[in-house]
Chain A
Amino acid sequence: MQNVDIDMLNTIHLDVLKEIGNIGAGNATTALSKLINKKVDMEVPKVNILEFKNLADILGGPENPVVGVLLDVSGEVEGMMMFVLEQRSAHVLVNILMGRDIHHISEFNDMDISALSEIGNILTGSYLSSLSALTNLSIVPSIPHLAFDMAGAILSVPAIEFGKVGDKVLLIETEFAEGIDRVVGYFILIPDIKSFKKILTSLGVSV
């Protein structure tokens, strides 16, 4: 079997993918916690298999304004990695980092955008390096690219990649939250279809 059919994945496969989300996001939230010097909690990761039309529901609907940091992933695992923050959370996070009043809301300036990209870079880097260590597969992230727009528009980019091979998207989603100032965001790993088999096999699961 060359490729893994998304619909053929069983509960063991899904549990393994969830565990990847757990380890990756666990490391990333630890990195975030150090960065802002606050406690950050992480939800249990979800493996979502979604039809395109329902994809944006995971981020509060297609029109919900979000900040998305996207990295292309290459090497032995291919796909995309996204770090997504709801607009309000992005403002709070930037304010914490810049030492401003956390409720201050104005348009993102260049410095804010650069800070958000860098946070995305550090956190996704930490997610991917733990995944790489776990699977012994090389994972090379691209430089981060940031967009502030509607959730549907941002998710159209990975969706189109999946559209080339099927009618569903598989993503490993982990929500995290910083309790006091309520910074809520998501790590989303979107492996290429070809990479599922590699990831699962490297962890000793037969597909």
Chain B
Amino acid sequence: MMNTQEIIKVGMADLNTAVYPDILTTLGLGSCVGIALYDPVSRVGGLAHIMLPDSTQIKNNSNKAKFADTATVLLVEEMIKLGAVKERIIAKLAGGAQMFAFNNTNELMRIGYRNIAAAHSILEKLGIKIVASDTGENYGRTIELYTEDGKLLIKTIGHGIKEI
């Protein structure tokens, strides 16, 4: 019998996990960053769509999935519950674009860069290696994480489709 492959959507400021053969996807990433984690042995995947870099800088921080730091920690915990082993988890990053060409010095408009930097920093702290990324630039991305082999498919408007 064939396994039915489900596509699990992750919204903005949201995270979710999946096991083989399911696919995790998040649509229309702009300045937000998609943090895709994968354990190639247990074939457990996790995807977070974070909006902001740092939960400690914000008073109202109850939604852990909104911040790079708390989302990554929670995502790893959820993956371990499904049989992932932390030491085996690898990461791929996408997003963090600067959607509008505002002056670069504007703090708000640099949020994409800050989200990417925050993702790097928390992954390093957790000892998780970033094996590939497609970040920055000025365009939106839809991403799909395949639990079959950890492939991350990136779709754009006018900037092609790629696999990392």
Which A residues contact B (CB, under 8 angstroms)?
52-56, 61-63, 65, 70, 72, 142, 145-157, 159-161, 163-167
Contacts and interface: CB of A to CB of B under 8 A. Distances in A.
Contact of B28 (A62, A148, A166): A62
B138 interface: yes
A109 to B, nearest CB: 14
Given A149-B30, A164-B58, A156 B11 contact: no
Contact of B99 (A54, A63, A153): A153
Interface stretch (B37-45, B69-77, B120-128, B139-147): B139-147
B118 interface: no
Given A61-B27, A148-B157, A151-B28, A53 B140 contact: no
B111 A160 contact: yes
B27 A150 contact: yes
Nearest to B67: A163
8 contacts: A62-B28, A149-B99, A152-B27, A153-B28, A153-B29, A156-B30, A156-B99, A159-B12
A63 B51 CA distance: 17
A52, A72, A165 — most chain B CB neighbours (10 Å):
A52
A150 B28 CA distance: 6
A65 to B, nearest CB: 5
Given A52-B51, A147-B100, A160 B63 contact: no
A149 B63 CA distance: 27
Interface string B7-36: 000011110000000000001111110000
Nearest to B29: A153
Contact of A157 (B13, B62, B100, B157): B100
Contacts of A70: 100
Where chain B touches its partner, the secondary structure class is: loop
B66 interface: yes
B12 A157 contact: no
A53 B29 CA distance: 11
B140 A157 contact: no
Contacts of A54: 11
A165 B27 contact: no
A65, A142, A160 — most chain B CB neighbours (10 Å):
A160
B1 interface: no
B28 A56 contact: yes
Contact of A163 (B14, B28, B51, B142): B51
Nearest to A55: B12
Contact of B142 (A63, A154, A160): A63
B29 A152 contact: yes
A55, A146, A150 — most chain B CB neighbours (10 Å):
A150
Contacts of A160: 31-32, 51-52, 108, 111
Given A159-B12, A164-B58, A166-B60, A62 B27 contact: yes
Going nearest first, the 5 A-B pairs with the smallest beta carbon separation are: A152-B28, A153-B140, A53-B11, A156-B30, A153-B30
Given A52-B11, A145-B100, A163-B13, A156 B28 contact: yes
B68 to A, nearest CB: 12
Given A153-B99, A160-B52, A52 B31 contact: no
B2 interface: no
B140 A163 contact: no
A156 B51 contact: yes
Given A62-B27, A63-B27, A152 B66 contact: no
